[in-house]
Chains A and B, each alone.
Chain A
Amino acid sequence: MTENVVSTVDLKKYFTSRKGVVKAVDGVNLSVAAGQVFGFLGPNGAGKTTTLRMLNTLLVPDSGQALVAGFDVLKDPGAVRCRIGYVGQSGGSDRPATGREDLVLQGRLYGMSKAEASSRAAELIDLLDLTDFADRIVYTYSGGQRRRLDVALGIMHRPQVLFLDEPTTGLDPQNRANLWKQIGKLKATGTTIFLTTHYLEEADILSDYLAIMDYGHIVAEGTPQQLKRQVSLDTIRVTLGDPAQNPAAAQVLEGLKVVKSSVLEQDCLRISVDNGEAALPQVMKALDGKDIAISNISLSTASLDDVFLEKTGRSLRDTEAEGGDR
Chain B
Amino acid sequence: MKVLVDIRLMFVRKMKETLRNPIYILSSLLTPILYLALFAPLLKNLIPNTTNVLNVFVPGLLVIIAFLGGLFVGYNMIDEVRNGVVERFRVTPTSRFALLAGRVLRDMVNILVIVTVFVLISLPFGFRPDLGGFFVFVPLLCMMIITTSSFGNALGLILRDEDRLSPIVQGINLPVLLLSGMLLPMELAPTWLQVIAHFNPAYYVVEAGRLLVAGHITDIKVGEAYLFMVPLTILVVTWATRAFRNAIA
A96-B21, A110-B93 are known contacts. Are A153 and B9 too (CB-CB below 8 A)?
Answer: no
B107 within 8 A of A: no
The reply on A78 being an interface residue by CB < 8 A is yes
| B219 CB-CB contact with A under 8 Å | no
Contact present for A94 and B85 (CB under 8 Å): yes
Q: Is the CB of B84 within 8 A of A91?
A: yes
User: For A84, what are the chain B residues with a Cβ–Cβ distance below 8 Å?
Assistant: 91
B87 touches A82 (CB 8 A): no
Q: With a CB–CB cut-off of 8 A, which chain A residues contact B85?
A: 92-95
Is A59 interfacial (CB-CB < 8 Å)? Answer: yes
A22 close to chain B: CB less than 8 A: no
In the assembled complex, B90 has its CB within 8 A of some CB on chain A: yes
| Chain A residue with Cβ nearest B20 | A96
A82/B88 in contact, CB under 8 A:
no
Q: Contact between B13 and A94 (Cβ–Cβ < 8 Å)?
A: yes
How many chain A residues touch the partner (CB < 8 A)?
30
Chain B residues 65-82 with CB under 8 Å of chain A are 79-80, 82
- The answer to whether B92 and A110 have CB atoms under 8 Å apart is yes
Q: Which residues of B contact A92 (CB under 8 A)?
A: 83-85, 87-88
How far is B85's CA from A94's CA once the two chains are assembled, in angstroms? 6
A104 to chain B: closest residue by CB: B9
| A88/B92 in contact, CB under 8 A | no
Given contacts A91-B83, A94-B85, A109-B6, contact A86 B16 (CB under 8 A): no
Question: How far does the alpha carbon of A86 sit from the alpha carbon of B88 in the complex, in Å?
Answer: 7
* CA distance in complex: A91, B84 (Å): 6
A101 adjacent to B16 (CB under 8 Å): yes
CB distance from A274 to the nearest CB of B (A): 43
What does the 1/0 interface line of B86-122 toward A look like (CB < 8 Å)?
0111111110000000000000000000000000000
Main secondary structure of the interface of B (DSSP, over half): helix
Whether B248 sits at the interface, judged by CB under 8 Å, is yes
Nearest-CB distance from A66 to chain B (Å)? 15
- Which listed residue (A58, A81, A97) contacts B93, Cβ 8 A? A81
Asked if A246 is at the interface of the complex by the 8 Å CB criterion, the answer is no
Distance to closest chain A CB from B19 (angstroms): 10
A105 to B88, CA, bound (A): 12
Give chain B residues whose Cβ lies under 8 Å from the Cβ of A239. Answer: none
Q: Could you list 4 further interchain pairs (A-B, Cβ under 8 angstroms) beyond the known A58-B87, A95-B83, A111-B2?
A: A93-B85, A93-B88, A96-B20, A109-B92
Can you name 21 A-B pairs with beta carbons within 8 Å? A57-B91, A58-B87, A58-B91, A58-B248, A81-B93, A90-B83, A91-B88, A92-B84, A92-B85, A92-B88, A93-B85, A93-B88, A94-B85, A96-B20, A97-B13, A106-B92, A108-B9, A109-B89, A137-B20, A150-B84, A153-B88
Q: Which residues of A contact B (CB under 8 A)?
A: 53, 56-59, 78, 81-82, 84, 86, 88-97, 101, 105-106, 108-111, 137, 150, 153
